[in-house]
Amino acid sequence: MEPIKVLLVGIGGYAANYVREMKLRGEANGAVLAGVVDPYADKSPRYEEARSMTDVFCNTVEEFYENHTADLAAICTPIPLHAPQAICCMKHGTHVLLEKPIAGTVADAQRIIDARDRTGMNLAIGFQWCSDPAMYAFRRDVQAGVFGALKSMRALVLWPRDTAYYHRGSGWAGKKYDKNGNPIFDSVASNATAHYLFNMLWVSGCELTDIQAVTARANPIETYDTIVLRGKLGDADLTYAATHAGGNATLQNPMFEYEFEKGKVTYGGYHQSGGELIFRYHDGTVRSYGISFTDSGKKRMHKLWDFADTLRGGGRIACQAEEAMLHTRVMEGVRAVCPEAHVFGENEILNTNNMYWVPGLSEQLIRCYETRSLPEFAES
């Protein structure tokens, strides 16, 4: 069987994980590195590893296709590049695994879907929890009605980020548009913690309606570094709270609680990192789906090898583009109800080691999570 030729579009930042994965498990999964598209490839910490697997390095996908071909492209680049790069790859007969979010706007996401339908290529979106075996098994049971009707879903993420986070790469983080006017709308909800908002949409299979949102920023960015979101998933309530501006002392890794007619499932907890995905029935019995994402090196890349298997006639596309659009539509809904973020006052913000943060903000978001309410600063 011929090996699958993989093109890596972007190898810096998170994309460096794809280089590592190809190096560690490419041969075992019947894949070879066909080339790299990244004008800043030599800045990647995995550059030498990439060079050990290929001598094809290009600045653009158009340049790559002038002399080369690929079966699968893993695109992990800034948001405004997603649509043109994905469309170009599919036009040239390459299946695409596109990192989240699918795009900055519903219109750009639809352009990508239209290209998929026009070319007949496969397209997957890299929301990693969709490829996690524990989470996938849980979602299958939810949608089979094993736990009865969904009552509520809530998630909390408090991830501090310093100014280097917003200045990384070409400086697109926290921006609404790039220098050419292409939409980005990068925010705490659209990018860094998007997995935990999207997971509620993906597990429920529902469109979020009745959107209420409060966004805010402590950092000097165009979008927002803090959000509390409320809405309805059918008859169920959704609450999501996340911030990059809560300070290091209150870091809280993702945790959630989903309540159903027959019980509730939990993941993580206060002062915890990861752990078991556990459903607790009202009668006291417990069903564990196992550990989710503690072995990040292997489990996060299920998405790559599952997608590669689809090209061989097996496997599955864990996250379809239409599913990823649920998240994109929520982001547009947030912008509609909250077009401008609340800006914390200078007297409210501290700057510690190049990190802007607001004392008490994390505690307020925890209260929002626990009481399923919007924050107090929404009224100021």
Phi, psi of 254 (to 5 degrees): -55, 135
Those residues of the chain that have pLDDT short of 70 are: 293-300, 378-380
Structure tokens at 57: 């390095």
Q: What percent of the chain has pLDDT over 70?
A: 97
CA distance 199 to 204: 8
Is-contact 326 198, C-beta < 8 A?
yes
| pLDDT tens per residue, range 85-126 | 999 999 999 999 999 999 999 999 999 999 999 999 999 999
End-to-end CA distance of the chain: 64
Give yes or no on whether 4-127 and 130-293+320-379 have one common fold: no
**Per-residue 3-state assignment (H helix, E strand, C coil) for 144-159:** CCCCCCEEEEEEEEEC
pLDDT at position 291, please?
81
**Per-residue 3-state assignment (H helix, E strand, C coil) for 268-329:** CCCCCCCCEEEEEECCCCEEEEEECCCCHHHHCCHHHHHHHHHCCCCCCCCCCHHHHHHHHH
- Dump strand ranges (E) for the chain: 4-9, 31-37, 57-58, 72-75, 95-98, 123-125, 150-158, 208-217, 226-233, 236-243, 252-260, 263-267, 276-281, 286-291, 342-343, 350-351, 356-357
- Which is nearest to 260 in space by CA: 229, 240, 234, 242? 234
- Which is nearest to 162 in space by CA: 45, 223, 43, 247? 247
Is-contact 5 67, C-beta < 8 A?
no
CA distance 246 to 370: 17
Identity (one letter) of the amino acid at 89? Answer: C
Structure tokens at 51: 């060079």
CA distance 40 to 42: 6
- The one-character DSSP state at 48 is H
SS3 92: coil
| pLDDT tens per residue, range 171-224 | 899 999 999 999 999 999 999 999 999 999 999 999 999 999 999 999 999 999
Residues contacting 166, CB < 8 A, separation 6+: 173, 174, 219, 221
SS3 127: coil
pLDDT at position 273, please?
83
CA distance 373 to 142: 25
CATH number of the domain located at residue range(s) 4-127 in this protein: 3.40.50.720
- Where exactly are the structural domains of the chain? 4-127, 130-293+320-379
Q: What is the pTM of this model?
A: 0.95
Structure tokens at 55: 């001598």
- Which is nearest to 262 in space by CA: 281, 290, 241, 286? 281
- 154 beta partners: 239, 257
Phi, psi of 15 (to 5 degrees): -60, -20
Superfamily of domain 130-293+320-379: Dihydrodipicolinate Reductase; domain 2 (3.30.360.10)
